[in-house]
Structure formats: C-alpha cells, structure tokens
C-alpha cells in the first residue's frame, strides 16, 4: 500500500517511515500539518493516511473531516496515548477515521510492541479497501430458537467509521422514558469501548454502559460491545460473547450480532445500519428484514464513510434510507407504536 504520514514530530515521522518500509509498504508522502495533508490528498491520493491528532495550523480531526469530504481515503489515527485523548479520537472517528493506534516507540533494532499492532491495523484496512473478503452469507451456527417472548422492544445498531458522532447525534435526542433497550456494535478497539460508553453516556438522558456477559437488555438502557470477541444474544435473550467465527475482519462483527438477534430475540426489533467502511452487517440486516424487522440504513449524504449502509441497501436489506435525524424520530415513534 502507498502510505501517507501526517505528523509534525520528526522522530515520530522517522519511526513511522521505518515501520512502513519494513512492513513492505511504500511511503507516498509526508505532511507536517492538516492543511498540507489536504493539499497532498487532493494532488496525490494515497491508499491510507496515518493521521496525528495534535498539529499546528490544522489538527487531525479537522483534517480528517475535510479529507473525507474532498478526497476521501482511508485514515488511521496514529498518535501518542490514544486513551488519554479518547474524546479527540472519537471526534476523528466521527469525521471518518477508521481506527486508532498509539504511535510506536522504536529503538535502533526496530524493537517495539507497537510495530505489529500498527502493521496489523494497516493490513485490516487494506483488506477492507481492496475487497479481498466478501460479505459473509453464513455465520456462527446458533442453537435452536427458544420459545420465550421478550416484552422489551429492542433497537440494534451497527456502525464503524464515522459511527461515534452519529451515535451521539441519535441517542442524544431519545427520551429518558424510551420504551426500548438499545444494543450497539461499533467497530472500535477494545481499549476504547469503555471510554466510548462513558462519552456517549454524557450525550444522552439514557443510561449507557458496556455490555457484560449475562446482561439482560432493559428499557431505557444502551449497551455497547465491550471486547474484541463477538457480542451475541443467547437462547434466553441475554448478552453473551464468543470467539467464533474467527476468520472475520472485525470482532465484534455486526453480522454475527444481527444473526443472533434474528435467531434469539422473540419480540419487537428495530435495526439500524450506520456509517462505516466495508460490508459487515449487510447480510445480517437482510436476514432481519426478511423476518419482518423494521430496518433502517443511513443515507449517503450524511455518512462519513458510505460503505456499510451502501452494502445493505444494495442487498435490499433496508426498508428505509434515512438521515440520523430522521432515524431518531423513527425510533421514538416506533417505540411508542410497539409499547406494551
């Protein structure tokens, strides 16, 4: 891949250059601030941009936002201490960045635990952008359906790049009295899951927390996948985590989650597919749609990355294509309609 670096720190740039070359990739260009990065992307679009968050002239969040609107290409946030700067990282992901990783610290012998993590994330993005894997039609085998019926309406949401900002926009408008439980699978590094839950909790009147093994979806509560395993619903409608299937790009996978909802949630369901790269969740959304579930996909104009919604729409999995604002209104009206 042709990899571009956006960073104003000379030592960090030298470190990233060595890692890129050692990983068999090509250096496209180097920019020292966000404005330079935008101009470079417009004149020579790379396969991926490694974007720092804090730079003079223009920071990484604004640069990401403008690159995604003017010369869209995959962006990976690479910055010091991403957990300490979680809020700014979520802003960048909301603007369209695909993922985030700490800047590796490398010695003269190229020894660093961070090297392999950075190269792995570059490889994952390469897989997404080159289409090496197709949308899965089958996922982990699930036990036979149980006969229990849930009295709690369930809202399920899948999101990836650009997701945090849209999630905040949607749930911030939902009433405290919402008669439904919400479960979110957002493609995010495991280290960010709890930070994302805390950040979203500050945006809404609902209670937001990470989903733990054995949790039961409850009205007025928002649960977020908390590990790098797949979040699923078991035969009794409780939260569970599993490692299979292992050969998928993302863990947790939206497809695996939606499949489990289709098989195990015997009550009212509303499903949303939000902004993101790739096609994870499209096949699962189609299964829910065929089962009679109300399915919504985010419209192209409001997406930071129009990949996952596009895949779902092309499969015929979305009953409605909407803006986030329209989705919020639909959630409220749907929850009122199914109130028991």
Q: What tens digit of pLDDT does each residue of 253-307 get?
A: 999 999 999 999 988 999 999 999 889 999 999 999 999 999 999 999 999 999 9
What's the rounded mean pLDDT across residues 22-36?
A: 94
How confident is the model over 178-226, as pLDDT tens digits? 999 999 999 987 778 888 899 999 999 999 999 999 999 999 999 999 8
pLDDT of residue 117: 85
What's the DSSP call for residue 216? -
- pLDDT at 149 exceeding the cut of 90: no
Q: Which of 25, 85, 99, 187 is catalytic?
A: 187
Tell me the C-alpha distance between 296 and 312, whole Å.
Answer: 9
pLDDT category of residue 324 using cuts at 50, 70 and 90: very high
263 is an active site residue: no
pLDDT of residue 49: 97
Q: Which of 40, 47, 52, 160 is catalytic?
A: 160
243 is an active site residue: no
- pLDDT at 328 exceeding the cut of 80: yes
Q: Which residue bears the tokens 């036990």?
A: 143
What's the rounded mean pLDDT across residues 37-64?
A: 95
Q: Which of 253, 255, 280, 289 is catalytic?
A: 280
Tell me the C-alpha distance between 125 and 73, whole Å.
Answer: 11
Q: Are the beta carbons of 311 and 277 closer than 8 angstroms?
A: no
Per mean pLDDT, which of 44-48, 77-81, 104-108 is the most reliable? 44-48
CB neighbours of 6 closer than 8 A, spacing ≥ 6?
30, 31, 32, 33, 34, 36, 37, 49, 50, 51, 52, 55, 60, 63
What's the rounded mean pLDDT across residues 169-176?
A: 95
Residues in the chain: 340
pLDDT of residue 130: 66
In the chain, residues under CATH classification 3.40.50.2300 are 2-130
Would you identify the CATH topology of the domain 2-130?
Rossmann fold (3.40.50)
- pLDDT at 230 exceeding the cut of 60: yes
CB neighbours of 257 closer than 8 A, spacing ≥ 6?
156, 158, 183, 185, 225, 230, 231, 232, 233, 284
Tell me the C-alpha distance between 103 and 182, whole Å.
Answer: 34
What's the DSSP call for residue 300? G
280 is an active site residue: yes
pLDDT of residue 57: 94
pLDDT of residue 107: 52
In the chain, residues under CATH classification 3.40.50.180 are 154-337
CATH of the structural domain 154-337, one choice from 3.40.50.180, 3.40.190.10, 3.90.1560.10, 3.40.50.720: 3.40.50.180
């Amino acid at each position: 891949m042709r990899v571009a670096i956006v960073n104003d720190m000379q030592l960090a740039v030298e470190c990233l250059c060595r890692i890129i070359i050692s990983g068999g990739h090509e250096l496209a260009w180097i920019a020292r601030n966000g404005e330079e990065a935008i101009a470079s992307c417009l004149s020579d679009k790379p396969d991926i941009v490694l974007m720092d968050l804090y730079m003079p002239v223009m920071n990484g969040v604004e640069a990401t936002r403008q690159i995604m609107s003017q010369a869209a290409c995959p962006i990976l946030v690479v910055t010091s201490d991403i957990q300490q700067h979680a809020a700014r990282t979520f802003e960048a992901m909301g603007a369209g960045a695909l993922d985030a990783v700490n800047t590796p610290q490398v010695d003269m012998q190229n020894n660093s635990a961070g090297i392999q993590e950075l190269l792995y994330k570059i490889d994952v993005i390469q897989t997404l952008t080159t289409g090496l894997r197709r949308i899965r039609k089958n996922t982990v085998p699930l036990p036979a359906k149980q006969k229990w019926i849930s009295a709690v309406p369930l809202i399920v949401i899948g999101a990836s790049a650009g997701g945090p900002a849209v999630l905040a926009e949607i749930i911030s408008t939902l009433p405290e009295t919402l008669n439904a439980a919400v479960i979110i699978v957002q493609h995010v590094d495991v280290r960010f899951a709890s930070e994302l839950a805390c950040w979203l909790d500050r945006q809404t009147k609902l209670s937001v927390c990470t989903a733990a093994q054995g949790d039961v979806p409850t009205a007025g509560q928002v649960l977020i996948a908390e590990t790098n395993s797949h979040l699923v619903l078991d035969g009794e409608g409780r939260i569970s985590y599993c490692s299979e299937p292992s050969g998928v790009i993302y863990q947790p996978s939206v497809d695996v989650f939606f499949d489990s909802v289709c098989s195990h949630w015997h009550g009212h369901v509303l499903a949303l597919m939000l902004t993101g790269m790739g096609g994870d969740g499209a096949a699962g959304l189609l299964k829910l749609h065929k089962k009679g579930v109300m399915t919504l996909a985010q419209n192209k104009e409001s997406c930071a990355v129009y990949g996952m919604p596009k895949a779902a729409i092309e499969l015929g999995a979305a009953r409605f294509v909407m803006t986030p604002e329209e989705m919020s209104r639909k959630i409220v009206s749907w929850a009122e309609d199914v109130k028991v």
